[in-house]
Structure 1
């Protein structure tokens, strides 16, 4: 069995230090000792300490245990993720209670039983790992909050359609109502989910997301509900599910329309009961989440076709927010163009002017990939432009009068003017996405591609 954890032992009795070190070095990766509690701060800074075994009484105060409580507070001020076990030769229940209230992981009396000490330290080590995991999650959540407030994550629009979206978002964000976000690919469904969470009472709690279209049937329960070690062949360690990770915060399920019916039943039960049970466990875990789902599927049609449960649709669709495609909010295009132009000029250290002809091309283009396509187009243009002007023609073919009048022109009509295979493929994918109203899964199937291959091409062409 692999040794784990760094243990720091602090006691003014050198015999105790030696005895503890001889016992623990057989079971743990590294043992550090000191007979002076004033060394603890520097030792923590120089060693990644997991558990501290701390004497409660030193020379200045032989029996009250107050010195131990003082150093306990100092340790947790410096690093709250470290588990501290207090020990004393004067076992006292009241002192033990006070120690636990002040953040001690456990309390042990001297002289100890070896098996007891090993068990206490093993428990403390697991506790320390849990603390570190929670701290990491907290840092990730803080990072997400910072990303939401950054210019690249601004939710922009001044058209009537977007003002309606903003109004609905403002009214619903402060509630705990389940929300379904609908719209074509690239319209900003995940960004909307972030905005809902950021403006909700749960904003300082975790925002956890999962792409349901990318989760295989065999991993569905593990991803959402977690599993215990040994629950199935590849379960080599415990896994915390997304429901539990999102406790107190928001859970965002993207592409919820792609879920098979068998998975829909399990999700419905978790939502209704507000409880989950990890695979391989008998423990029922209560959950407190705000559920936000997104889809580019027409779920009422899927219900009519027997592909989506109506009762699940009712549960996830307390409020629906429909995001309009960019072609329905053309007055927002100049605003978005200027926004992304500023971002990518700063990122790539360029200073470019935007000719009126280029803005006209951008405003006339139908944008089947919506805002995501527009952002990628501007980024590529900033990179490829020569001189001081943004050369949109380098990445976007100006729409012809015919295509502007007949945006549903066939793939053959769109590709007869070129023999560039990449350009033909790009146009074909755009046409397929438009035909299937932005549904990536359906477009991929029509093109004879897997979802993974389709996403690689979308990334390649910035769609």
Structure 2
């Protein structure tokens, strides 16, 4: 028995009885009314799946206009219901008109039972498909809301930040490719999300991809997807990040860390707005807003032959340069207060305050790790605090090498971090070149920096 609710509307009680007898063994619920005026008071009308509606209700009238009127009323009240029109007077033009008005099908009286059951089953299948599509759309909408949730805020009143946000608002309204640059920890992904949130694609998905964490042999699979059996671990078809971001925004972070080979593959996808899954020959068009980010000097990398000039032109229609924290006059203490309140709530220490001397220390420190370093510094101070007043000694600050202001490297980890940072400085932030100098893989270098929160 099919789990569907059917309503029969006909003024002929013999027709109602015949249909109830025919359908009661096929469908879970079969109800009937003899007067269409009862539609407005029919209980749980919006739960009906299929309606069988007579075309004529007044004696001596066979124009079908009454049925068309009630079809229109049903469509207004519950547009999702599949309606099948019934009449003893067959006319092609009347059938066509009913279908144009939104009827699912048209049957003649007396009917053939087998044909009638087939028609109703088709209407049920259509309704079921519509329900499934509606549920999938709702799930997709809910998923997009979850993915797009961003609890980070852009905090500050400095002129540098206001100029940046003014540019972001102008650029967001367009669909051009954007390159976001700036030192580590300045909030490049936060700005990318702001571009998405202020764009016409804000209700669609924002997909962030950390290019530095993707190994070269998995690059195509991660970005373009793969088909089942295309390589050893491909146990099922899988969409890549480009497909996942279709209709929305794709954010490619650390794009300066790609090899020349992967740059060529990325350029083709960006240029043609078409991707091909690994193991497939079928081109898949994608509609994305592309935002890329890096802390590397891409122009110098182009000069050194490490980055494709044509790729740079493609991703760099608009260039957004983020100011460092030391360039944002007055924002340090605003951010410090914001993070202090955040971590007081998180760690259950509601009475903490930063004294004047500590504020001066925070305000004058150069913050080489920018906002990210400030966040970690405040969190660490809150966790380790033993008194309600935070003093200068509660804030352990570090120089650019990552070593304490008051001492040299005391551990192997500190020495390792010093060597990594020095290599990155020598190579203008290029991970591949720094890794080559240190004799480790780019992936290993990236993982080591990730562990330190850099």
Query: Does 1:139 pair with 2:142?
Result: yes
> What's the offset of the Cα at 1:275?
3.6
Q: Write the distance in 1 (CA, Å) between the matches of 2:119 and 2:439.
A: 63
Contact 2:224–2:240 under 8 Å retained in 1? yes
Q: Which residue of 2 aligns with 1:252?
A: 251
Q: 1:99 to 1:154 in 2, by over 3 A?
A: same
Matches within 5 A, 1:198-277: 198-217=197-216, 219-226=218-225, 239-277=238-276
Q: 1:449 to 1:385 in 2, by over 3 A?
A: farther
Q: Write the distance in 2 (CA, Å) between the matches of 1:58 and 1:213.
A: 66
> What's the offset of the Cα at 1:429?
6.8
Contact 1:220–1:263 under 8 Å retained in 2? yes
Q: Deviations over 1:400-444 (max 9, x none)?
A: xxx6xxx6698999445x56x777777777777666666677777
Q: 1:156 to 1:458 in 2, by over 3 A?
A: farther
Q: 1:270 to 1:107 in 2, by over 3 A?
A: farther
Q: Which residue of 2 aligns with 1:324?
A: 323
Q: Deviations over 1:66-118 (max 9, x none)?
A: 77776676667xxxxxx865556669454344337xxxxx7697745999988
Counterpart among 23, 26, 47 of residue 19 in structure 1: 26
> What's the offset of the Cα at 1:35?
2.5
Q: Which residue of 1 aligns with 2:153?
A: 153
> What's the offset of the Cα at 1:291?
1.5
TM-score (norm 2): 0.70
Contact 2:250–2:291 under 8 Å retained in 1? yes
> What's the offset of the Cα at 1:9?
0.8
Q: Which residue of 2 aligns with 1:386?
A: 386
Q: Write the distance in 1 (CA, Å) between the matches of 2:198 and 2:393.
A: 39
> Which one has a bigger Cα radius of gyration?
2
> What's the offset of the Cα at 1:189?
0.5
Q: Secondary structure at the match of 2:332?
A: helix
Q: Secondary structure at the match of 2:383?
A: helix
> What's the offset of the Cα at 1:256?
1.9
Q: Write the distance in 2 (CA, Å) between the matches of 1:156 and 1:427.
A: 31
> What's the offset of the Cα at 1:318?
0.9
> What's the offset of the Cα at 1:314?
0.3
- When the two chains are superposed, the root-mean-square deviation of aligned CA atoms in Å is 4.7
Contact 1:179–1:321 under 8 Å retained in 2? yes
Q: Which residue of 1 aligns with 2:340?
A: 341
Q: Write the distance in 2 (CA, Å) between the matches of 1:108 and 1:454.
A: 69
Q: Which residue of 2 aligns with 1:288?
A: 287
Contact 2:263–2:308 under 8 Å retained in 1? yes
> What's the offset of the Cα at 1:311?
0.9
Q: 1:219 to 1:54 in 2, by over 3 A?
A: farther
Q: Write the distance in 1 (CA, Å) between the matches of 2:70 and 2:45.
A: 15
> What's the offset of the Cα at 1:317?
0.3
Contact 2:23–2:30 under 8 Å retained in 1? no
List runs of 5+ in structure 1 lacking aligned partners: 1-5, 21-32, 45-51, 77-82, 101-105
Q: Which residue of 2 aligns with 1:372?
A: 372
> What's the offset of the Cα at 1:198?
2.2
List runs of 5+ in structure 2 lacking aligned partners: 8-19, 33-41, 59-63, 108-112
TM-score (norm 1): 0.69
Q: Secondary structure at the match of 2:101?
A: helix
